Amino acid sequence: MSKTIFGLLTLVLGITALTGAAPAQTIVQNRDEPGRNRYQAHATISAPCSFQNGCVATFATIPAGEHVVVQYVSCFITIGDGITPLVVSLAGQVSNPNNRAYLPSLQQGSVSNVQSFVVSSPLVYYFVSGDTPTISVLFNGAPASNPGDCLLTGYHVLIP
């Protein structure tokens, strides 16, 4: 009995080796994999700006044929004593400029009449083709010079 099983097993393995019958492999590629289509953009918060209008960091326009998913926002803001960021927000100028994500700002310290604030926040925010991401900062006064810079990170989604 054991010789029969051994013989059948040898026959099956021999046939498999001769025919090259290996399992079929299918290679799958996720076009929208976040690590494959990473997005990272930098912009300076512009001045002069006023209490009424705030300051704006304007990023590059999203190219045709893709969307961008922003997953993290980071800003470093330096301004004179007595001036603080009241509202920091992320929005697009095309899809819906009133659809804002509000971001927390934390004071880091003050040296020689200059205060430092940091915005650092995970989020999920979608931008469509042709949209221009912006970060607006409303202060309780008018900063004298460019008050800082911001970074957006996330990934592109390619639109077929």
Q: What is the pLDDT of residues 129-149, one digit of tens each?
A: 999 999 999 888 877 677 899
Task: Return the CA Rg of the chain.
Answer: 27
DSSP state of 159: -
3-state secondary structure of 118: strand
pLDDT for 37-90, tens place per residue? 899 999 999 877 766 668 899 999 999 999 999 999 999 998 888 888 889 999
The region, left, alpha or beta by phi > 0 then psi within -120 to 50, assigned to residue 109 is left
Residues 6+ apart with CB under 8 A from 47: 55, 143, 144, 145, 146, 147
Residues 6+ apart with CB under 8 A from 134: 56, 57, 58, 59, 90, 91, 92, 93
Distance (Å, whole) CA 129 – CA 132: 9
Mean pLDDT comparison of 4-8, 36-40, 89-93, 128-132, highest-scoring range? 128-132
3-state secondary structure of 24: coil
pLDDT at 20: 55
Q: What percent of the chain has pLDDT over 90?
A: 45
Whether 14 has a pLDDT exceeding 60, the answer reads no
How do the domains of the chain map onto residue ranges? Answer: 31-158
What is the distance, to the nearest Å, from the Cα of residue 60 to the centroid of all Cα atoms in its chain?
A: 13
pLDDT at 9: 47
The pLDDT confidence band at residue 153, using thresholds 50, 70 and 90, is: very high
Strand partners, 151: 42, 74
pTM of the model: 0.76
Secondary structure percentages of the chain, helix, strand, coil, to 5: 10, 50, 40
pLDDT for 97-119, tens place per residue? 678 999 999 999 888 888 999 99
Domain 31-158 falls in which CATH fold?
Jelly Rolls (2.60.120)
Residues 119 and 150: beta-carbon distance below 8 Å:
yes
pLDDT at 90: 95
Please state, as a whole number, how many other Cβ atoms lie within 10 Å of the Cβ of residue 141.
13
